[in-house]
Structure 1
């Protein structure tokens, strides 16, 4: 990893969060939702360049006991392919390895081909036994 990239265990502000999501190709979120969601994160990782700009992030949400979900894995396209997704996942997994109680269920929704990255951290496809579902408001 580039030594001029700082790994910080905090959420970005809502405006940065929304901008990075769109830049990285994730769906946009409302400012109201972003403010609420970010403050309710269980754990977060932000990557910042030498100019302190947000270039990557990831979060864990959940009930801190039985269920956790990894969300918002995003890296600015200008920084993709340099191992920053792995850095984010390693930080998130270190948190879970340290704090998640035995038999906790950790889930995530993987876009293809990012599922290959998540498999390296022990995640497996749930199908055909179960499938992910969602409803958007």
Structure 2
């Protein structure tokens, strides 16, 4: 299979389908419709022969002092082919080009040992990640 990395965001439907296929928590359609256009940067991976979007990642934040990498997903049928690494390379190239000195770049890792190759470190014990889900 041949893949193409594109500097674009997925559609709402593609976003929800990829999160579901990857076993990630659901996001409401309203939330995705409102949130995607507010992304700082995003990439997708397309399987060329089918045209299917099989991977995505994006950055949200203020575009200056805070960059949060999120929604990194690769469809299970296309994992273990370096697609996540290609997306992270693109994300980090964007950060290197656009983030001012001392900008805070963070993410919530769900895979041990993957993000460290781009210089990410655990924050504990200095800080801890927390979340709140709106109901």
TM-score by length of 2: 0.96
Q: Which residue of 2 aligns with 1:61?
A: 60
Q: Which residue of 2 aligns with 1:122?
A: 119
Cα-to-partner distance string for 1:26-84 (whole Å, 9 max, x where unaligned): 11111110111111000000001121111001000000111010000000001111111
Shift of 1:126: 0.2
Q: Give ranges in structure 2 of 5+ residues lacking alignment.
A: none
1:45-60, aligned counterparts within 5 Å?
Answer: 45-50=43-48, 51-60=50-59
Taking the aligned partners of 2:83 and 2:22, their CA distance within structure 1 comes to 13
Q: Which residue of 1 aligns with 2:70?
A: 71
Q: Count matched residues.
A: 133
Shift of 1:115: 3.3
Q: Secondary structure at the match of 2:124?
A: coil
Q: Which residue of 1 aligns with 2:28?
A: 30
RMSD: 0.8
Shift of 1:19: 0.5
Shift of 1:25: 1.1
Which structure 1 residue ranges, 4+ long, deviate > 3 Å from structure 2?
none
Q: Give ranges in structure 1 of 5+ residues lacking alignment.
A: none
Q: Secondary structure at the match of 2:8?
A: coil
Shift of 1:117: 1.1
